[in-house]
Structures are given as C-alpha cells and as structure tokens.
A and B are shown apart, each in its own frame.
Chain A
Amino acid sequence: MNHSHQDPAVSRRNFFELTFGWCAAAFAVSATAAGALRFLVPNVLFEPSQQFKAGKPDDYLDGSVTFIEDQRVFIVRKGNTYRCISAVCTHLGCTVNRTEQGYHCPCHGSVFNNEGTRTAGPAPKALSWFLVSLSKDNRLVVDKNQRVTEEKYLVV
C-alpha cells in the first residue's frame, strides 16, 4: 500500500481539535445510546405487585392455612403469629396443594412438610417463606421480594 505523504505531523493545535472533536462525537453517541437504553427500562410495572396486602389479621382463623390465588402464597396463622409461604413448587413452578402433612405438588409429585422442607419428589429446594409485616392501617403486608427463614413470623 502506498501511503502518500500528504499529511504532515499533526500540530499541537490540531491535536487538541481532533481530540476534542472525537470526544464530542463519542459523547454525543454515548449520550444517545444511554438515553435510548434508559427509555427502555420500565419505571412502572403492570403486573400484580410483589408486595401486597393480605387482609386483616382477624380474617384468618387460628390454625388456618389460607391460599391466596392470584399471588400464589399461603397465609399460615398459629395463635397470634402469622407467616407466609410460597405456593410455587421449586421444581418447575407449578402451584402446590395443601395437605394435612404439608404441601403436595400435583405436577411431578414433590412433597413438602409444614415447614416447607422438601421430603419427596424432584424439587431441589424448600418452599420459600416471605416477609410478613403489619401496615399502618392494620393489614397484613406480604413482600415476596424478601425471603425469610422459616422461624421468622409476625406477631400481632
């Protein structure tokens, strides 16, 4: 390749101009890309919220395990303690059923005990427990974003 010698050494002034120029260009391009990307990240979701209200504590009878369908959890009450366990089987995501001894998944036969620990079947992990708190207007609030250990419960 025949490199012509039409471009002599770049002067210091040219150097700044060139640097500035390309930096400005890079700045403009990256600002555009960043803006487009930020645009695509949603700020609000239209799905059922991960954090939801589950009614008043008194809505649940002592010793009950109540299934909440659209959130796929069970609310467990014993005395004045409240807990919330996920109803989503850890195998492939089917909804488990409540049994006398705990929970049973109809899809592939996974069995969990009352503490959520897997006792039989292909599920790899125990069922998750979620954080239960009390809202300012005296309602149970479940936060599915916060997993807790089985021992943690809300005392009302």
Chain B
Amino acid sequence: MNHFLPKKILKWAMQTRIGRSIFRVGLPESNLERSQAMVSSFLLHVQPAKVNRHSLKASYTLGLGLISLYLLLILVGTGTLLMFYYVPSTDRAYNVMKDLQFVISAGLVLRNMHRWAAHLMVLFVMLHMCRVFYTGAYKSPREFNWVIGVMLFLVTLGLSFTGYLLPWDQLAFWAITVGANIAAYAPIIGPKLQFLLLGGHTVGQEALTRFYALHVIVLPAVAFLGVSIHLFRVRKDGGLSRPEEVRSSVDRIALNELPTNKSYGLMELARGTTPQVGKNPDDEVFSWPHLIFREIILFLLVAVVLLFLSIFWNAPLEEFANAIHPPNPAKAPWYFLGLQELVSYSAFWGGVVVPGLLVGLLMLLPYIDRNRHGIGRWFARERIVANTLFTFCLIVAIVLTIIGSLFRGPNWSWQNPWKQQAVQTESH
C-alpha cells in the first residue's frame, strides 16, 4: 500500500473514467505495465520497451545526441514565444530586439536562451557526430542513419545561419553577406544559388523574409522529420551500437519463470526471422524507468546550464544594419569561420571544393569504410587509421576556426590577439 498521498491521488485520477481514457496504462508498477507504458504512449513509443544496459552508459554516448535534441526542443519553445513579438521587416526587426531588452518582460532572458541554445546545438551536433565516428557506430547496419545524421547537421547549420540574420544588426547583416558570397563561389550554380537564397542581389528585405520563412517553418519541419527518422532508425537498426561482448548470447532462462497463461501483448522484433519472445538477454533493462529517468535528469541538466548562461550573459546586438559601413573585418558566424579562412586563400578551392569534398566524404563514409571491426568502443585499435585521419581533419578544422576568429584583423590580415586591445574607433 502506498502511503504517498500525491501518488495516491494521481493513481486515483488515472483510474477514473476520464483518466483511463487518456492514460491507458497509468503509472507502471509491473514489468508488463512498464513495457506497455512505452509502447502505448505517443511520445514514448519511438523508444523500445527495453534497452541494452550498455546503451545507458553516460561514458559511452555522453548523451550528446539527446542533448542536441533537447536543445532543439528548447529552441522551438523559445523561438515560438519570440515569434509573438518579432516582425521580419527591415524597419522593425531591430526595434523589436531593442524592445525585447528594454520593455518586454523576460524578453532578454528568452532571447539569450534562444541564442545560446543555438550556438550550443551546433556545437553538440558536431560533438555527437564525433562520438558516433569514434565509436564506429556508423558502420553496418547503421550506414544510412549516419547519412541522415549528416543531413541533420547541415539542417542545423542552415537553421543557425538563417536565424543569424533576423536581428538585422551589423553582426547579422555582414555575417550573412559574407556567407552568401561564399555560396556564390560554387561553379555555374553559385550566383544563381545566391540569387535564390537572397531573393535578390543584396541582403535586403527579400532576404530577411526568405530567411524567416526558412528559419521558422521550412527548416524546423525538415529537422523534425529528420530527427523522427533518425530515432526510428536507431530502433530499426537494433538500438545504439554496442561492442561485440555486449551483444550477448541468449542466456538460459528458467522456463518456470515464464508465465504460460499469459500472452504478452507486446512483441519485440529485432533483426532476425522469428520473434524472440522469452529470450531475454540479461543485459536488457526496461526503458521505464531506466532510460526515461536518465533522459529526464539530462533534460533538467541542460535546462539548468542554459538558464544559467541566459541569465548572466547577454547575446550580442550591434548597431542597426548599415550596408554602407562594413565592419573591418566582416566575419561569418563561428561555425563558418574556418570556411572563411579557407576562402581567404582561394575562393574556389577553399570555398567550394574543400567543403564540398568534406561533406561528400562525410556522407559516403560508412560506404567507404569497409573495416567491420571496432564498433561500440571508443578509439578502437582496429580503426587506428580511420581515427587518425578523422582526428587530423578535426584538428585542422579547429585550427582554421581559431585562426579565423582570433588571429584575423582588419582586411583579414594577421593580427596578434594578445597585443590587440579593443581599439575604440569613432567611426564605423
């Protein structure tokens, strides 16, 4: 008997006629109910009723994929609220940003949250991609999920880029001008692509309208579709990747444990030709509570960090966008700075060929990599070549980004960041 009063009330509520029509299972108290809670719930049923214990290890996944998802959800929430005030007009957008800071309750905090979550999401999506690579989790049978992941990465960059323009300040205007100019370097289609993207030849009202449409409906819809397929594929591919030892052989289960007068309303289909009823590997645990509880805690953790950042650090807002006064230098958003650095060496090779090759290689990676070993472990020895190559590319990318952000001054010339104090220039 539960002496816990709120829980008693909750249980009572869930057992009323109305309650039962909404919550078909209620708070689970048996293994059957735990399974049913997962399967019969709209929100939860993308996850399996049972998960492998190994997949729950924080040291394995670092929760990076989940964190990326939570950031996306927080972005959608804060973004929707911001939509109640924002107007995608070159006359009014900047004024709305000022109003958020000065006259709208919680305006500054919400905007900060949106901005920091956006930056963090790009970062965590990249980290998640690195994790998947280093654990070999893109190998068969998970090749296509990796491809979907790369596409989601591009969508994330697109969301961040389109959102970057919306404040319509100097930072926004010039970052997008630089980014659009890089796009124009693609051979043959480049200028047409830029024209389509901007709705014109320059960054103006048309660009703002298009970017807004992309940012609030098109790309989020694509992202949600992609994430749904991405998570579904995790199920279909047999759950998260695991090392061979963990793909446990079937243990013998005392037959008298199996209730014979029940037929489980649930059948779990794993790869194979027959249902594996009654062949429970010991490594599997019920999603409710093991997975669910961890997911909730992780969400709260992400919320705490994000709230903390948003309350104490303000997102930047520079002067009103002015086409006549480019800042010197005009820099792209941080995730494109490495690209901008490459472009400064050669527009075609640095801006089109290298990134194009990189993205192409990334997508084809699971099909190029024939090595079937090393799945499910960090930095597996068998994959030393692949790991080294990837790490090398990663380091180059990071170095280029650092150069682009710290070591480039006016006219993209080399500058020493330690000698460079903030120079107070009067005019812009």
Contact = CB atoms under 8 A, between A and B. Distances in A.
Interface stretch (B99-107, B162-170, B180-188): B99-107
A6 B31 CA distance: 10
B2 A10 contact: yes
A142 B103 CA distance: 25
Interface string A26-42: 00100000011011111
B105 A41 contact: yes
A42 B104 contact: yes
A7 interface: yes
Interface in A55-107: none
Interface stretch (A14-22, A112-120, A131-139, A148-156): A14-22
Contacts of B1: 9
A35 B109 CA distance: 10
B316 interface: no
A49 to B, nearest CB: 15
B84 A22 contact: no
Contact of B103 (A6, A14, A19, A44): A44
Contacts of A42: 104
B32 interface: yes
Interface residues of B, number: 22
A35 B81 CA distance: 11
A87 to B, nearest CB: 31
9 contacts: A3-B29, A4-B29, A4-B30, A6-B29, A9-B2, A19-B6, A22-B6, A28-B303, A40-B84
Interface of B: 1-4, 6-7, 29-33, 81, 84, 99, 103-107, 110, 300, 303
Contacts of A43: 103-105
B6 to A, nearest CB: 6
A21 to B, nearest CB: 10
A43 B101 CA distance: 12
A50 interface: no
B105 A4 contact: no
Contacts of B31: 4
Given A6-B29, A36-B81, A40-B81, A18 B106 contact: no
A2 interface: yes
A111 B1 CA distance: 75
A4 to B, nearest CB: 4
Contacts of A38: 105-106
Nearest to B100: A39
Nearest to B30: A4
Given A7-B29, A43-B103, 8 more contacts: A1-B33, A6-B29, A7-B2, A10-B4, A18-B6, A18-B7, A28-B303, A40-B81
Contact of B110 (A22, A39, A41): A39
Given A18-B4, A36-B81, A6 B30 contact: yes
Contacts of B3: 9-10, 15
B106 to A, nearest CB: 4
